[in-house]
Structure 1
C-alpha cells in the first residue's frame, strides 16, 4: 500500500478524488487487465476469419452456413451486452467481469473441440454472449477509474488493444501453421483464446477491486473507501461527516429505456448507438475478412496472406493510438467525422481501382481504411456511450448501445461473404461505402461531445426507485 493518504468525509469526496487523481502505474495495470477482454473479443472474432478455408473444407460449409458461424458471436453478444449492462448497474462491475470470463473460457474450449458445425455454432454463441456481457462493463469500469482529463483517452485505448489482438491472431496462426498442424490449425488457434482468458481472469481476481464510483453509489461510505484503497493502492483516512455513513441508499433506475430516450439523453443515446452500429457494419464487413481480402489481393499462399493480414492491421494499431491521444484535444465527435470520411474515401477508391492498379497500392488503401476506422468511429462510438451517462445509468446506457451495435456486427459479418461471392471485391466496396457515408451525415447533424464533462450531478434528473 502506498504511503500517500487521502481523507474522505463524504461520498462526493470519492468522486472528486477519482476525477482529480494522477495517472499512475497502478492505473495503467488496471487498464491493461480490464481491456484484456477487448483483446479476447478481437482475437476470438477474427481467428476464424484466418481459417475460413479450413472450416469450409472440414465441415463442407456453404457460404450461407459459414456466415451463420461467423455471425454467431456478434449475435450472442447482442444479448450478453444488454444483460451485462443491466446487471453491472445492479450487482457491480467486478462480478460481471468475472462471470463473463468464465463463460468465455468454457465457450473457447468447446469451440476448439467441436465435432460438428452445429456444436461449433452453439459454443460460438456462448462466446459471443460472454464477450457481449463483458465489453460494456469493461468500458464502464475504465471510465470510472480514470480521472476527468483522461477518461476519453483511456476508454479509447481499447481500439489499440483490438488491433494488437488482430495482429497477434495472424501471427499465432502462422506459428501453428509452421508447426504442421494441418487440418487442426483452426482448433489450436481457437483453443489458444481459452489460455488467454484464463490468464486475464487470474489477473482480475488478484488485482481488480470494485469500481469506486459504483461502490460510492451502492455501498456504505466505509465499503466505498475500501474499494478506493484497493484500486488506487492508497491509504484512506475515513472521517465521515455526521450522518454520511448512514446514507446507504441503493437506488436503481426505474425505467432505464425511458430515461435513455428522454429529452436530456435522447441525442446522446442516438449518436452513440448510430456510430457504434455503423462502425460495426463497416468493420465486420471489411476488417473481419481482411485475410480473405488479402488472399484475393496477394494470392492463395497461406503464409503470404497471413503476413499481409498482420502488416495491414498494424495500421489499425497506429490509428487507434493516435485517435486515443487526440480525443482529449479534438473530441470524440470530430474524430468520428474525420474517420468516417477517410473510410468512405478508401472504400470508394478500392471499389473503382481494384484490378487497375498495383496490388500493393490496394493493400495500402486497406491499411488507410483501418487507420481511419481505428482512430475515428471504431473507437469513438463505444467511448461516447461510456462517457455520456452518470454512474447510476452508465452500465445500462453502455449496455444498450453495445447490444444494438451488435446488429451492425451481425449484418456486416453475415452479408460480406454473400455480397463478395456474388459481386466481387470492387462492387462490394462500393455498396458497403454507404455505411461510413451515412455515419458522416448522422455525426454532423447530431451535436454532442461528452469528452471532458462531469455528469455525476445528473443523478438528480434521473427517475429512481
Structure 2
C-alpha cells in the first residue's frame, strides 16, 4: 500500500455531495483533518472519551478528603498513609506503559472497552475494604485502569477531530482538562452531599460511599461505549485496513467512503508494533518533543498533585479550617477556578496555541505559590481569604495552561502509528512523579508546615525553563503528514 495519496484528497463539498474514494491512509487522515468527516456519531465518541477522563479524575481524587478518616480507622502511620494515597499512581504508571503500547498494537477500541471493568470492580472493593492492604491493592488495580484509559481517550480525542478551527485536535485534546476538573468538582459535591446525609456517628464512612459511587458513572460509560464506540479510522488505515477505515467513516461520520477496485492491498497484514516502538520516541524529530513533553508534564503533575489533591490537607491543616469549610472550599476552587480555566483553555487552544497558554499558566502559578509561601500560616480572615484566592489563581492557571496542554505536547506532535506509546510513556513518567508527590506530600506538609510551599514553587519554575529552552507549538501540526514525508525520504 502506498503511504501517500495518488489522487488529490476530496474537498468538503465533494465529500458532502457523493461517494469519497479512499486510496491510502493519507486520504483517511486528510479527510478527518479537513473537517469533511464530521457527524453526530463521531461527536458522541469524543464525549464518551471525555467520560473516561472524567472517571480517571474522579477515582484519583475520591480519597483526597477521606485520608484522615482512613488513617484513623486503620491506624496508619504517615508513611502508610502515603502508600495508600500513592498506590493508585503506581498502578497507573504500569497501566500507562502497557496501555500505550496496546493502544498502538491492537487498536483504540479494544483497550477502551476493556478497561471500564477496572473502574467498576475496584471501586466496589475499595468501598468495602476492611484493612489497609485490601484498599491499597484495589487502588493499585484501579490505577492500572486509569493508566490504560488516558492514552486511548486522548488518542480518540485527537483522531476524531479536525486539524484546525472549531472542534480541532487542539481544542478537543484540551477538553480533557475541564472534564478532569468537572470530575474533581463532582467528587467534592458527592462528599458534601454525603456530609449532610450521613449521621454524625457515621461520617467516618464518608470516604467509602464516595469511592464506591465511582462504580455508577463507570457502568453508564461502559454501556454507552458498547453502543457508540468505534475504532479510530486513521489507526485502521495506518494498519493497512483501508476497507475497515472506509467502513468506520461510513458508520461514524456518515461519509460515503469506499476503496476503489484498482487499489492494491485493501486489507494488508497489520503492522503490530513491538515494545521497541518506545525507542522511536528518542529518534529523529521526536526526541526533543518527547523530552520537552515529559519535563513540562512532570512540572505540571508535581504542582497539580501537591495543590489540587492536597487541598483538603492545605485548607484543614495549614489554614486550620473545619471540615465543612474544607469541603466547600475544595469544591469551589475546583468548580469556579479550575473548571472555568479549563473551559477557556478549549476556547483559546485553536486561536492562541499551547505554548503561550502553558507559559502564562506557569507564570501565574509561580506568583501564586510565592504569595502563599510569604503568607505562611494565615493569622486572620483576610490572610485566609488571600490564601484561598491564591489557590484559586493556581487552579485557574492550571485549567487553561499546563493542565489543558500537557496532552497537546504528549500527543499532537506524534503520528497515529506512535501516538499511544508517546502518551503512554509520557503518562508513565508523570505517574512516577505523581506517586512520589502523593507519597511525600503528607509527610512534607506534616514536617515542613507552610514551608512546603517553597518546595512546590519548583514546579512552575521547571515548567517555564522547559518551555523557554525551545518554543515548540504542537497545536495545528500535522504529525501524520510529517511521518509520510519521513517515510518517503523527503
| TM-score normalised by the chain length of structure 1 | 0.94
Structure 1 residue aligned with 2:458: 434
In the alignment, which of 267, 279, 296 is matched to residue 288 of structure 2? 267
In the alignment, which of 217, 220, 230 is matched to residue 251 of structure 2? 230
Structure 1 residue aligned with 2:30: 16
Q: Which moved more, 1:349-358 or 1:406-415?
A: 349-358
Q: Does structure 1 residue 83 correspond to structure 2 residue 91? A: no
In the alignment, which of 173, 177, 182 is matched to residue 164 of structure 1? 182
Asked whether the equivalents of residues 311 and 330 of structure 2 are also in contact (C-alpha less than 8 Å), the reply is yes
Shift in alpha-carbon separation, 1:177–1:436, aligned structure 2, 3 A = same
Task: Tell me the distance in 2 between the aligned counterparts of 1:462 and 1:58.
Answer: 59
Structure 2 residue aligned with 1:347: 369
- The CA RMSD over aligned residues, in Å, is 2.0
Structure 2 residue aligned with 1:178: 196
Q: Does structure 1 residue 325 correspond to structure 2 residue 343? A: no
Instruction: Give runs of aligned pairs for residues 300-319 of structure 1, distance below 5 A.
Output: 300-314=321-335, 315-319=337-341
Structure 1 residue aligned with 2:476: 452
Task: Tell me the distance in 1 between the aligned counterparts of 2:432 and 2:233.
Answer: 32
Helix, strand or coil: the match of 2:406?
helix
Asked whether the equivalents of residues 103 and 151 of structure 2 are also in contact (C-alpha less than 8 Å), the reply is no
| TM-score normalised by the chain length of structure 2 | 0.90
Q: Could you tell me which runs of 5 or more consecutive residues in structure 1 were left unpaired when the two chains were aligned.
A: none
Report deviation, 1:247. Answer: 5.2
Report deviation, 1:112. Answer: 1.1
For residues 177-231 of structure 1, give each alpha carbon's deviation from its aligned partner in whole angstroms, at most 9, with x where no partner exists. 2121522211111001111111111111111100111111125322111112222
Q: Does structure 1 residue 360 correspond to structure 2 residue 403? A: no
Q: Does structure 1 residue 386 correspond to structure 2 residue 407? A: no
Task: Tell me the distance in 2 between the aligned counterparts of 1:5 and 1:100.
Answer: 38
In the alignment, which of 351, 354, 371 is matched to residue 396 of structure 2? 371
Report deviation, 1:31. Answer: 1.8
Task: Tell me the distance in 1 between the aligned counterparts of 2:385 and 2:51.
Answer: 33
Helix, strand or coil: the match of 1:288?
coil
Asked whether the equivalents of residues 10 and 241 of structure 1 are also in contact (C-alpha less than 8 Å), the reply is no
Helix, strand or coil: the match of 1:242?
coil
Asked whether the equivalents of residues 256 and 396 of structure 1 are also in contact (C-alpha less than 8 Å), the reply is yes
Instruction: Give runs of aligned pairs for residues 234-249 of structure 1, distance below 5 A.
Output: 234-240=254-260, 242-246=262-266, 248-249=268-269
Helix, strand or coil: the match of 2:20?
strand
Report deviation, 1:25. Answer: 4.4
Report deviation, 1:6. Answer: 4.2
Asked whether the equivalents of residues 298 and 304 of structure 1 are also in contact (C-alpha less than 8 Å), the reply is no
For residues 20-79 of structure 1, give each alpha carbon's deviation from its aligned partner in whole angstroms, at most 9, with x where no partner exists. 126654444222211112111111111111111211111111111111111011111111
Task: Tell me the distance in 2 between the aligned counterparts of 1:324 and 1:30.
Answer: 18
Asked whether the equivalents of residues 63 and 211 of structure 2 are also in contact (C-alpha less than 8 Å), the reply is yes
Task: Tell me the distance in 1 between the aligned counterparts of 2:385 and 2:123.
Answer: 35
Q: Does structure 1 residue 119 correspond to structure 2 residue 134? A: yes
Shift in alpha-carbon separation, 1:67–1:462, aligned structure 2, 3 A = farther
Structure 1 residue aligned with 2:236: 215
Report deviation, 1:9. Answer: 2.9
In the alignment, which of 76, 79, 86 is matched to residue 64 of structure 1? 79
Shift in alpha-carbon separation, 1:392–1:26, aligned structure 2, 3 A = same
